[in-house]
Each structure stands twice: as C-alpha cells, then as structure tokens.
Amino acid sequence: MYKKKGIDLARFILEEERRYPHATGTLSHALLAIENAGKVISAHINKAGLVDILGRAEKINIYGEDVKKLDELANKWLIEHLSASGDFFAIASEELEEPVFPEVGKDGKYVILLDPLDGSSNIDVNISVGTIFSIFKKISDDVTTFFQEGYKQVAAGYIIYGSSTMMVYTTGNGVHGFTLDPMIGTFILSHPDIKIPSKGKIYSINEAYYLRWDGRIRNWLDTIKQNRYSLRYVGSMVADVHRTLLKGGVFAYPADSKNKNGKLRLLYEAFPMSFIIEQAGGMSTNGEKSILQIKPTELHQRTPVFLGSPEDIKELLNFLN
Ligand code: AHG
Ligand code: MN
Ligand code: MN
C-alpha cells in the first residue's frame, strides 16, 4: 500500500522499516539525513548561476564561502549533516583523501561512501549533476571497514539535480524513485519498483576514446551500431545511469590505454550504481565479473564499468570473453 505513487519519502522509509520487526530504525534515520542534505544541495544548485552576480551586487559572499567550488561545498554539507545524525561510524568521500570518523558516530552501526557532486564539470553549463551514496554495516574500527564486496551494501542511491530533483534508492528490496516537489520541499514517490527494460536501444560511452580502447570493445561497438542504436552521453554518470535505468541500454566506461582501470571509482560510483541497476533487474560487470563481486583493497580505486539491460550486457560479454 505504501508503494502507492504520491506518498512522501519520509513515510515510505518508515513504512518499509515496519516490515522488519527487528529493525532498530537507525537505517531509516540515516536515509532521512541523506534526504535532508540532498534538499540543501538541490536548493544551492538551483541558484548556482546566480552566485557570482548576487555576491557582487551585495558585496558579500552570500553563502559565506562562495569562493569555494560547489563540489567542495556539497562535500562539506553532506559531511556535516551525516556526521550530526550519529548514525555513521565513518564517512568516506571522493573529495577526501582519508575517511572521517565523526565524534557523535562512535556507536554508529553504518559507514557511508559519497560522491558529493558527480558530473561537477557540468554545473557551469546548466546540465544535470548528482550526489551518489553507498551504505555498509560497520565491520571494523579503521579504513578496512570500507573494504567489503559491493553485494554487502545495505543501501545505495543517488539524487539527481535535473529538470526535477529526484532521489532514487534501494535497500535491497527493489528500486524506488521520488521526485522533489519544490513548492513544499518534499520528495514524493513517483517511480515505485523501477525495472530496467530487458533490452534497450541506447548506448552511453565517451566515444572520443575509441582509438585508446581494446579491439574487443571496438568490435562490440562497431557491431551494435549496425542495429539502429542511438548514442546518448551527458558526461554525468548519475544522469547517464538514470536514463539507462529508465530506458534501458548500456552505460560503459571501459579501461583504455591511458587509464588502465578506467576512470570511475569503485566505491563511490561503480558499487552504488551497480547495486541499483542489479536490483532493477539489470546487470553490471567490470568485463570479468559482476561489479558487486569485487573486493576493494583501496578507498579510491578505479574500475572499468559496464552496466545496463541484461540482454545488452550479455551481448557485450560475448565480445569481451
Ligand atoms: P566527478 O564529477 O564526480 O569527478 O565524476 C565525473 C565522472 C562521471 O560523472 C562521468 O561519467 C565521467 O566522469 C565522464 O568522464 P569523461 O569526461 O572522461 O567521459
Ligand atoms: Mn563522479
Ligand atoms: Mn564527484
């Protein structure tokens, strides 16, 4: 019943929790902290184009820190909100060399990984960007707590700041999408139980790197091009994966001769997006195995990424193996 379109995110989270009699409520609390941080970032992104103008007119810097880049600010706001929640023993971010261990999170059961602002080079040109998060149970007292296989994620999701702001997440019980109603500042369930189409008609890859790819990737692309595919590539992973989730097809960022492991980060980008895509009935791979089967050894490690509709990924694997 609570999966009916129109209910708000806070209620949805609490109703989900009720389904598990032993749940302590801490994960719900953590998800609500992310929701709040997402709203703060969304509000600032909508004003991003005005920062210079307003700042100059008023001769003050309107956020106190408008000299900072928005990705650094997004990182700061997220860390502040999530630290204050007390739910997280440790927070790792693409923007920080080392994880943060919040004072009030000493008894926190979870750890979280963040890409505070994904696709940040797109902000200046008014194109969609996002925030990506991934939550695991705490298993140790130091950085090794983050070195768990992706299938052990307790929750993962993203907030996309697009023509609307949306939060899409999974706790391993399907994928649900909520659209922010800017009039009332509430995320409303708009996309219950998202399922990726079993086959799509779009591939999403930075084709400018064609000459740097392995012959197997080139063959795959040359072949699917003969089958009336379209190319769409925003250059914000959040936007490209969001479209892939809803419309199907393939999102790919392979290794190339310059970047032996590709560009995308395993922990901040590949794990959460793969969890969402697989939960929606899709597939992910690094070319050898599901991305969710990889055991990390470093916080900032990179991985080749291929994810999308199951039939499209199976076809790709025929070329890679
Ligand atoms: P970020 O802005 O968090 O550093 O991530 C950028 C990433 C990702 O969003 C996107 O898929 C990829 O960079 C695009 O890279 P190319 O410009 O090499 O295609
Ligand atoms: Mn990113
Ligand atoms: Mn980023």
d(CA 129, CA 182): 17
Task: Locate 88 and state its tokens.
Answer: 């997280």
| Residues around ligand 3, an ion, CB closer than 5 A | 94, 115, 118
Report pLDDT for 72: 87
> Quick one: pLDDT at residue 194?
98
Architecture of domain 202-320: 3-Layer(aba) Sandwich (3.40)
Q: Is 36 in the pocket of ligand 1 (CB under 6 A)?
A: no
Q: What is the pLDDT of residue 252?
A: 98
Whether domain 9-191 has CATH 3.10.20.30: the reply is no
Percent helix, strand, coil in the chain, to 5, is: 40, 20, 35
Portions of the chain given CATH number 3.40.190.80: 202-320
Q: State residue 68's pLDDT score.
A: 59
**Distances 109 to 13, 79, 83, 86, 90 between C-alpha atoms, Å:** 18, 17, 13, 9, 9
| Pocket lining: 272 vs ligand 1, CB cutoff 6 Å | no
Q: What is the pLDDT of residue 1?
A: 64
The end-to-end CA distance of the chain, in Å, is 44
**Where along the chain do the CATH 3.30.540.10 domains lie?**
9-191
- The predicted structure's pLDDT at residue 45: 87
Closest to 11 (Cα-Cα) out of 176, 225, 126, 127: 176
Ligand 3 center to 73 CA (angstroms)? 11
Q: For position 52, what pLDDT does the model report?
A: 59
Residues of the chain with pLDDT under 70: 1, 51-68
Ligand 1 atom closest to residue 120's alpha carbon, by position in its atom list: 2
Question: What six digits make up the tokens of 47?
Answer: 């004003």
What pTM did the predictor assign?
A: 0.94
Pocket test for ligand 1, best of 237, 261, 265, 302 (most atoms within 8 A of CB): 237
